[in-house]
A and B are shown apart, each in its own frame.
Chain A
Amino acid sequence: MKFKKLAALGLVSSLLFAAAACGDDDDSDSTKGDGDSSSDALAAPAKDTKATLRVWLNGPDTPQDMRDWAIAEFKKQYPNVTVKIEEQEWDGLVPRLTTALDSADTPDIVEMGNTQAQEFEAAGALTDLSSKLDELGGDDLLESLKEAGSYNEQFYGLPLYAGARVVTYRTDLFEKSKLEVPTTLDEFVEAGKKLQKDNASTPNFSGIYFPGRNWQAMLSFIWDAGGDIATQSDGEWTGTLADKESVDGLTTVQDIMKNANKAPADSDDRNDYIDFCANEVGMLMGPGWKQGQIEEECPALKGKLGVFPLPGSDGDVAPSFLGGSVLGLSAKGKNQGLAYQFLKLINGDEFQTQYAENSLIPNKKSLLDKVAGSPGALAQAEAAENSRFTPSSEFWAQVEGDNILQDMGTQIGNGDDVEKAASTANDAIVEILNQ
């Protein structure tokens, strides 16, 4: 048919154009940078080396003065090296990393969220640092972050810093309701309900602010009840989200959402600090820097805020989700040795202690006691001791991307049957992890 011939002709002509225009295509030929497990590649280069080191840090999490300090310190070691810290946004980071790490223009060091690191490690995008693990701290590194930075028994990503989830609360409202800081999970829930009752006259008030999509907070309840998301054995994942323990934990969550909370089931915790400033919150669960953020947003609440780690059913600290980042070296980077030296600087106690002073958790257990000063940081340090991580699979990022847990949270918040919601989520998760 003439149509087909014309179509074919058109297609062929543009393919010819494309082929002619394109020159060589060797994208499947990747010469891995010299960052293989040979430690020679990571050896310290000469002091007078001249180079530019590009470091990608994400978001505003690492404060500017810490960055300045690191750059200045490194300049002392290597006066002819310029360190450029380029700030990336968390949104859209993964496609950027995918195309950047694979190019000749790759940055030397990249920061990745703990849930994103796995897939890049699995893909071979990062330099193998297994031989340097001991030098960097070995067992002293925070467990769950070290896990995030490892794949297949090999070590690629240095934990950078962590943030644990804690409870930020209104001390004045507690006083009014004659409440003490809860020491068990049950006391926590009861305190929330009491606050809810005592403050019913304030519109939209939540004793415990629990928006439906706050899945990280839900994890603590699941873990505390003895449940988990999924477990792995022999490379096969089994979902445990619909098991009795997990469902029990989620039922407690639903109890809170129904009886102590007015936050919408379809929102996440992005705006919680604003609602807090509007006097609508008694307690909320969130990162350790929440207190600082609230005080910045509405200074009127300064002095009325307190922090404590979420208590577990057994009176100890409840297991909490540890968020954080890892730093990796791009396998195709041209300055492996220099990059590693910079990494050591970041890993050093001096730099890490500054994280502690900024209410973030440093990457080593031995430094946890440096987290002094703000109660928020202290509470975090406590929480960090019982930290847990999401299933360490290269496909976990997809679970997050598909909003599976968030959807489950919305359903629970809407009053749907907990077991059904958990079961749906469980099946979806298992399907993804086992693909």
Chain B
Amino acid sequence: MAVVAPVKVPPVVAPAKADRGRRRPRRRWGLNLIALVLILLSSFPVYWMFTTSFQTNAAIRSPDQELTPVGGTLHNYRSVFDSDNFTTAFANSLKVTALTVVLALAVAFLAAVAVSRFRFRGRVAFLVMILLVQMVPAEALMISLVKVLEGWQLRNTIIGLTIAYLAFVLPFTIWTLRGFVAALPVELEEAAMIDGASRWGAFWRITLPLVAPGLVATGIFAFIQAWNEYTLALVVMIRPEKETLPLWLQSFNYGARGTDWGGVMAGSTLITVPVIIFFLFVHRRIASGLTAGAVKG
């Protein structure tokens, strides 16, 4: 068939999973515009933080504000790397956060499966309790928590802080994953079991991959919670070599007899980087969703 005119036609072949490519171009532009506005709004403060990290303290407070970084300085970043504890704090944060995320997801998944696929005594009580516990501020518990950790010789340890973080992250993680599991049709697991899989096999091979989006979303949440947490780390990790990054950042609040704004921003920028890396690594799993053909009717 002869092509009549070189008209641009939107791609008809949809990408593997979604039919998003079929959207009409006009609609697409509208949405993209909205997205652009949102991108500006959500990243403006971060952009500000980023550009400020390249300015001297005097320039930061000057009446002439630069919206774009012109002639910056690396002085702030140098003072970050010069500071005593940056690398150890970074390593500590990394360890605690990784441990917290992995354990939280594993434990929460199990519990989520339990409460959404089974009925058992105490199920509602369990859920209600962990929901309400979210309301207790960490400050009210931290003194007792430290005593507990001390009793187990776990103060100033990565494990100790991880336990504390787990306790604070689990309630939300369990509740959310429960929502995701509950949203999956039980027929999927039943189909697998009819095909001969065990209960556990069904959960492992069917449910788990399908709640991957939920795992990613809650994983990011757990990551950010643990990575940026300050209050508990303040009282649990009291040896300088055990500090985590949020504690380390505070030292710029009192550099040179006044707040070292440039240092705070440079430090904050560096602190944000691993989160972004983690996200880029896992975010595609959010869109994995149900593959066509998983369930045959």
Contacts and interface: CB of A to CB of B under 8 A. Distances in A.
Interface of A: 3, 6-11, 13-14, 22-25, 27, 59-60, 86-87, 89-92, 95-96, 98-100, 103-105, 203-204, 270-271, 273-275, 277-278, 287, 289, 293, 296-298
B57 A7 contact: no
A87 B147 CA distance: 23
A91 B63 CA distance: 29
Contacts of B43: none
B124 A27 contact: no
In the A-B complex, list the 6 residue pairs whose CB atoms are closest, starting with the nearest. A10-B125, A6-B125, A274-B61, A99-B235, A99-B146, A89-B250
Interface in B253-267: 253-259
Contacts of A90: 254
B62 A278 contact: yes
B38 interface: no
A6 B126 CA distance: 9
A293 B256 contact: yes
B276 to A, nearest CB: 27
Interface size class of B (residues with CB under 8 A): 35 or more
A95 B230 CA distance: 12
Given A6-B125, A10-B124, A104-B150, 17 more contacts: A7-B129, A10-B129, A24-B151, A25-B151, A59-B254, A89-B251, A89-B253, A91-B253, A95-B143, A98-B143, A99-B146, A105-B155, A274-B58, A274-B60, A274-B258, A278-B58, A278-B61
Nearest to A14: B129
Interface in B228-268: 230-231, 234-235, 238-240, 247, 250-251, 253-259
B156 interface: yes
Interface of B: 57-58, 60-63, 121-126, 128-129, 139, 142-144, 146-148, 150-152, 155-156, 230-231, 234-235, 238-240, 247, 250-251, 253-259
A25 B58 CA distance: 53
Contacts of B150: 103-105
Nearest to A10: B125
A10 B146 contact: no
9 contacts: A6-B121, A6-B124, A10-B129, A14-B129, A22-B148, A60-B256, A86-B239, A98-B143, A296-B256
B122 A22 contact: no
Q: Which of A3, A10, A90, A289 has the most CB of B within 10 A?
A: A10
Contacts of A9: 121-122, 125
Contacts of B126: 10
A96 B58 contact: no
B295 to A, nearest CB: 34
A105 B259 CA distance: 30
B58 A277 contact: yes
B58 A103 contact: no
